[in-house]
Amino acid sequence: MLKIALVVAAVVAVVAVAVTNGVSTVVNGTTPADGSGGVGIRNVGCNASIGPWEGGGEEKGRNDASRLNEEQRGTVAKIISIGQERRLPPLAWQIAIQAGMTESGLRSLDYGDRDSLGIFQMRPSMGWGSPAEVTDPVYAINKFYDVLVNVPNWEERRPGDSAQAVERSAFPDRYHNWEAMAAFLIGELGNVVDPAGCGESAGEFLLASSAAGTAIEFTKQQLGEPYLWGGNGPDQWDCSGILVKAFAASGVKIPRVANDQYVSGGAHLPVREAKAGDLIFWATNPAEPVTVHHVAMYLGNDEYIHAPQTGDVVKISKINWDYHELMPLAVRPGV
């Protein structure tokens, strides 16, 4: 059961939400989350689309990436560019980078255990292709992706586990060693803002997570569609149903009903600190989550997008931060 502890002091306001499954804890206030001083968000495991990203992951990722030579970085660039050409999400690139680093050090080797060859140490005798093919980086990367996309639930697994599902190694835990480095590289070389999904700047506004951009785009595509109580699309929506589908497009699952979305839809943070993609809520009694009756997606600049009520359509509205029914916390799905 999720437990929410809310402490408000006259001078310092700190909101702490503990989630018992260990997914995330968001801390806002003057108490530093990272030991550096000032306001911060501490993530025990951001997992919006790339994760999990443990504390200190970015620093480790940067340090590991700094040791790569030109050949290795060239392999990473190929993995990313082919993933982009195939319209695969950044998570797929990360999985391939982790697998390649573990198997060959991101080099197209002409040797390996038994007849293993190439970036991913593919074995011609096991049907991966001819020796010439598996040592061709373009072929090998495409072959890896061909197998990955057929792994059940690969987008919901930890990246190293998906790499293992493709490689079937006798040492399955090795792939996790390069998680932070791979996430850092898809951010640096793949121009993915906030690869860990922990909330950084993107474009003209702050994205709540790396899942938020896709969710916002999906929701905006529904502008003008009519409201229907219980509507799950594709042409009619209610306030919570449209958000379920929006985040599903990002690979993030949230509960179906608005008050459940408030309680267990993600990490909590003060509503006035919401970023684009966070969920905001209204209730008849803001002290009682069970009375939540409406949910919307915050867009930044005091605007939110929502499916309002019967007779209305999906639209963008201006928020009244002082409205008495506005819930004190926003929810960040996927974190």
Please say if the pLDDT value at position 2 is more than 60: no
And the tokens for 299?
């867009």
Same domain as 268, residue 154: no
Least confident interval from 159-168, 175-184, 188-197, 198-207: 198-207
Please say if the pLDDT value at position 14 is more than 60: no
Average pLDDT, the chain: 80
CATH code at position 312: 3.90.1720.10
Q: Is residue 27 a part of any domain in this protein? A: no
Q: Is residue 34 a part of any domain in this protein? A: no
Whole-angstrom CA distances from 325 to 230, 239, 319 are 22, 16, 12
Domain boundary among 188, 221, 242: 188
pLDDT band at 196 (very low <50, low <70, confident <90, very high): low
Average pLDDT on 3-28 reads 30
Q: Higher-confidence residue: 198 or 227?
A: 227
pLDDT band at 144 (very low <50, low <70, confident <90, very high): very high
Alpha-carbon span 274 to 332, nearest angstrom:
8
Same domain as 310, residue 282: yes
**Quick one: residue 225, left, alpha or beta (phi over 0 = left, psi -120 to 50 = alpha)?**
beta
- Give the CA angle between residues 65, 107, 91 to the nearest 5°: 55
Average pLDDT on 190-202 reads 55
Q: Is residue 4 a part of any domain in this protein? A: no
Alpha-carbon span 320 to 332, nearest angstrom:
20
Alpha-carbon span 24 to 208, nearest angstrom:
14
Please name which of 80, 73, 171, 158 lies closest in space to residue 121, comparing C-alpha atoms.
Answer: 171
Q: Is residue 16 a part of any domain in this protein? A: no
Please say if the pLDDT value at position 43 is more than 50: no
Q: Is residue 40 a part of any domain in this protein? A: no
| First CA to last CA distance, the chain | 17
Single pTM value for the model: 0.49
Place of tokens 């190439």: 118
Structural domain boundaries enclosing 80: 63-188
Same domain as 235, residue 158: no
pLDDT band at 32 (very low <50, low <70, confident <90, very high): very low
Please say if the pLDDT value at position 158 is more than 70: yes
Please say if the pLDDT value at position 305 is more than 70: yes
Place of tokens 């919307």: 296
Please name which of 5, 35, 30, 1 lies closest in space to residue 17, comparing C-alpha atoms.
Answer: 5
Domain boundary among 188, 216, 240: 188
Contacts by residues 229-232 (CB-CB < 8 Å, ≥ 24 positions apart) = 229/310, 231/307
Least confident interval from 8-17, 69-78, 135-144: 8-17
Q: Is residue 7 a part of any domain in this protein? A: no
Instruction: Report how many domains make up the chain.
Output: 2
